[in-house]
């Protein structure tokens, strides 16, 4: 109270010129405070507007990608289902595929089982030979293998054309490979990481006598 009275007394004791300067200073100070409050409010509203715009953009992207995301989830589920089914013995599977394609397998050689992808998968491979086969039956035989319900892939193919015979070939080597998922103790069925780990598959090599071997990239995972 005493401080207020002292301020009032000091103002009354000022000259008209000093009072005018004091009013101008107070007005400038008030305008400055109002401008500062407006600037802070503008910055806050701009930040909220940018966040709102980013949220709307994200929702638009999700809405636009919904079909693709659903398709990817379905594809992942299909691949996972293939890995859940353990492949049968390759010898019997190859025999059935050859019989369906009307092909005769002249030689079969099972390769040692190997652990791949950090021990998460077992790779089983069988090497076969085919003699005097035309391209139509060879393609039909490969289609039988490709249409299997478990992960299987043709990882090597070496063939040569028979001398002076049209559309007749010998398959010197065809390696058919399958992958079995190794389950650890206590691991539930399904993929723990929310996805399907796919072991690396080497490129398919096709060799013909007329040129150097040609590397054909595989699909990246057995089908």
Other beta carbons less than 10 A from residue 191's beta carbon: 17
Mean pLDDT throughout 187-214? 46
- pLDDT value, residue 99: 93
- More confident site: 126 or 212: 126
Indicate the pLDDT class of residue 172, thresholds 50, 70 and 90. very high
CA-closest candidate to residue 198, choices 181, 216, 177, 185:
181
Statement: residue 105 has pLDDT above 80:
yes
CA pair distance 24, 64, nearest whole angstrom? 59
- More confident site: 81 or 172: 172
With pLDDT > 70 as the criterion, what percentage of the chain qualifies? 73
- pLDDT value, residue 221: 47
Contact indicator for 90, 105 with CB cutoff of 8 Å: no
Mean pLDDT throughout 134-140? 93
CA pair distance 179, 80, nearest whole angstrom? 12
**What is the per-residue burial (b if ≥16 Cβ within 10 Å, else e) of 88-97?**
eebeebbeeb
Indicate the pLDDT class of residue 1, thresholds 50, 70 and 90. low
Q: How far are the Cα atoms of 28, 42, 45, 72 from residue 36, in angstroms, in the given order? A: 12, 10, 14, 51
CA-closest candidate to residue 82, choices 196, 206, 200, 199:
196
Mean pLDDT throughout 159-174? 90
- Which distant-in-sequence residues (6+ apart) come within 8 Å of 79 by Cβ? 196, 198, 221
pTM: 0.52
- More confident site: 53 or 101: 101
CA pair distance 57, 97, nearest whole angstrom? 51
> Where is average pLDDT lowest: 63-67, 94-98, 136-140, 176-180?
63-67
- pLDDT value, residue 3: 65
- pLDDT value, residue 122: 86
C-alpha atoms less than 13 angstroms from C-alpha of 139 in its C-beta half-sphere: 5
- pLDDT value, residue 128: 95
**CATH class for the region spanning 87-216:** alpha beta
Domain locations in the chain as residue ranges: 2-63, 87-216
- pLDDT value, residue 95: 93
Statement: residue 33 has pLDDT above 90:
no
In the 8-state DSSP scheme, what is residue 65? T
- Average pLDDT over the chain reads 77
Contact indicator for 151, 178 with CB cutoff of 8 Å: yes
Indicate the pLDDT class of residue 170, thresholds 50, 70 and 90. very high
Give the DSSP H/E element, type plus range, for residue 117.
none
């Amino acid at each position: 109270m005493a401080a207020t009275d002292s301020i009032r007394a000091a103002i009354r004791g000022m000259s008209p010129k000093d009072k005018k300067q004091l009013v101008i200073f107070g007005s400038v100070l008030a305008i400055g405070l109002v401008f500062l409050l407006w600037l802070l409010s503008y910055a806050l509203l701009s930040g909220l507007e940018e966040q709102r715009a980013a949220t709307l953009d994200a929702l638009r992207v999700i809405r636009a990608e919904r079909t693709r995301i659903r398709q990817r989830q379905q594809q992942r589920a299909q691949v996972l289902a293939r890995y859940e089914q353990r492949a049968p013995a390759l010898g019997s599977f190859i025999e059935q595929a050859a019989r369906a394609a009307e092909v005769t397998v002249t030689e079969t050689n099972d390769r040692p089982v190997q652990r791949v992808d950090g021990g998460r998968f077992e790779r089983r491979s069988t090497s076969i030979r085919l003699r005097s086969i035309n391209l139509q039956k060879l393609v039909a035989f490969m289609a039988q293998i490709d249409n299997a319900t478990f992960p299987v892939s043709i990882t090597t193919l070496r063939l040569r054309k028979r001398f002076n015979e049209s559309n007749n070939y010998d398959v010197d080597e065809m390696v058919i490979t399958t992958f079995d998922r190794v389950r650890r103790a206590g691991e539930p069925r399904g993929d723990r990481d929310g996805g399907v780990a796919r072991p690396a598959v080497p490129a398919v090599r096709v060799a013909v006598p007329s040129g150097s071997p040609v590397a054909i990239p595989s699909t990246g995972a057995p089908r």
